[in-house]
């Protein structure tokens, strides 16, 4: 909030770790960011690759 950031990307085209095996990792990361007080938009930037957008579970 101090930096006036409106949105934060938590990842970019991380195909190897954006699958369902890493869902708990991503949810923990999101919880950690939220617990530190960041309440604005969180996003993930997937590659335009059909399999990545279908495998994300967070």
2-35 pLDDT, tens digit per residue, is: 778 899 999 999 989 998 999 999 999 999 999 9
**Which tokens in the block code for residue 30?**
């999101």
| pLDDT at residue number 4 | 84
What is this structure's pTM?
0.83
Domain ranges of the chain: 7-55
pLDDT band at 1 (very low <50, low <70, confident <90, very high): low
What b-and-e string marks burial along 31-49, b requiring 16 or more CB atoms within 10 Å of the CB?
Answer: eeeeeeeeeeebebebeee
Distance CA 21, CA 37 (A): 27
């Amino acid at each position: 909030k101090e930096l006036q950031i409106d949105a934060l990307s938590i990842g970019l085209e991380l195909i190897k770790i954006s699958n369902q095996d890493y869902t708990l990792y991503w949810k923990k990361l999101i919880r950690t960011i939220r617990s530190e007080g960041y309440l604005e938009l969180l996003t993930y930037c997937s590659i335009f690759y059909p399999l990545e957008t279908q495998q994300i579970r967070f």
